C-alpha cells in the first residue's frame, strides 16, 4: 500500500484512493504516506524499542482468527515479547472472528 501510495503521490495524484487491507477503508495516497510517518509500529516489527515496551499496566489483546492484517500470529509474539514491563499480558484468540468480531460479540464480552 505504501509503495503504491508513494508512486501515486510522485505521479501528482495524491488524492487518488488506495484500498487498505481487508476490512479497512480506502484512504488517499497522501493520507497513507502521512500515517506511515507517525511511527505506527506499536508492536515492534521494525523498532527494537516500540511504545508497547513502555506500558506498565495490564495488557489485554483480543484478535480474531480470521483477522487478515492486524494482530497476526507474528504480531502476537511481538506483543508478548515487547510488553515485558506490563503487569500482565493476556492474549485471547476469538475463533472465527474477523477484524470487527462480527457475530462474536458475546465471546469478546467474556474476555
**Sequence-distant (≥ 6) Cβ neighbours of residue 66 within 8 angstroms:** 96, 97, 98
Are 56 and 106 within one domain? yes
Q: Is residue 29 part of a domain?
A: yes
Note whether 21 and 57 are same-domain residues. Answer: no
In a domain, 11, yes or no: yes
Summarize pLDDT for 12-53 with one digit per residue, the tens. Answer: 999 999 987 766 778 899 988 887 666 666 677 777 778 888
Q: Are 62 and 105 found together in one domain? A: yes
CB–CB of 15/32 below 8 Å?
no
Instruction: Count structural domains, the chain.
Output: 2
Same-domain check for residues 61 and 31: no
CA angle 93, 96, 97 (to 5 degrees): 70
Q: Which domain holds residue 68?
A: 51-110
Q: Which helix (H) or strand (E) holds 110?
A: helix 105-110
Write out pLDDT tens, residues 59-95: 999 999 998 777 788 888 888 989 999 999 999 999 9
Question: What would the grid cell of residue 14 be?
Answer: 495524491
pTM (predicted TM-score): 0.64
Amino acid at each position: 500500500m505504501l509503495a503504491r501510495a508513494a508512486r501515486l503521490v510522485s505521479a501528482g495524484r495524491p488524492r487518488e484512493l488506495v484500498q487498505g487491507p481487508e476490512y479497512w477503508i480506502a484512504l488517499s495516497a497522501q493520507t497513507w504516506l502521512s500515517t506511515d510517518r507517525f511511527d505506527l509500529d506499536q508492536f515492534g516489527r521494525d523498532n527494537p524499542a516500540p511504545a508497547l515496551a513502555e506500558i506498565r499496566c495490564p495488557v489485554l489483546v483480543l484478535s480474531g482468527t480470521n483477522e487478515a492484517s492486524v494482530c497476526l500470529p507474528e504480531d502476537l509474539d511481538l506483543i508478548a515479547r515487547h510488553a515485558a514491563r506490563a503487569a500482565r499480558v493476556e492474549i485471547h484468540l476469538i475463533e472465527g472472528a474477523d477484524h470487527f468480531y462480527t457475530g462474536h460479540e458475546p465471546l469478546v464480552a467474556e474476555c
